[in-house]
Amino acid sequence: MSSDRSTPTDPDWDAIRARLASRAEREGLLDVAVERHESPLGGLLIAATADGVARLGLPSEDEDEVLAELAARVSPRVLRASRPALADARHQLDEYFAGNRRHFGVDLDWRLTNGFRRGVLEATAAIPYGETGTYTSVATAAGSPAAVRAAGTALATNPIPILIPCHRVLRSDGEIGNYRGGREAKVTLLELEAGGR
């Protein structure tokens, strides 16, 4: 059976997706734009709303689960597309991994965290490049010094790792502790920052 229609190639599909994404954005139908970005840790999934970056999925995370979380908690209108906040995040992450950026200036959308957890993440964001805090110090800064376990949970569920540097939080005994991206990724980030002091 012959066909007059040819099968679109990958570049053709990329162009079609780009046109659809642009139209969805113009018509207000795109709530969450996502892009993959390669890093020394592996592929990152960055998601942004009109307010800023809302989620950064690490290589250890299942991409389908990250997309499902965004669809359930932000909006089902999620599409691979570009946005200024995504371009800014990619650029600043590249500078960070190259050792040329110590502070992120990316717009953030905090909607995936609130209350005490957000306070912990805001305290974490204040830890300077190349320095570390403890679970106790961020719990204290968030207003509940005794809520160390809750602070650990807030850090373990940080929706925007690296940009909100939860890798800078260690156990009180100086041990690395857990990290959403895995111990090896946390060590890599801490070594990167230690070398850039």
24-75 pLDDT per residue, tens: 667 666 899 999 999 999 999 999 999 999 999 999 999 999 999 999 999 9
pTM of the model: 0.85
Question: Residue 44 pairs with which residues in a beta bridge?
Answer: 37
- Dihedral of the CA atoms 66, 68, 70, 75 (nearest 10)? 170
Q: Choose, from 166, 185, 189, 190, the residue flagged as catalytic.
A: 166
What's the one-letter identity of residue 153? Answer: T
Position 6 confidence tier, pLDDT thresholds 50, 70, 90: low
Give the Cβ contact number of residue 31 at 10 Å: 17
**For the chain, which domains are there?**
10-97 (3.30.160), 115-195 (1.10.10.10)
Is 166 noted as a catalytic residue in this protein? yes
- Report d(CA 19, CA 156) in Å as an integer: 37
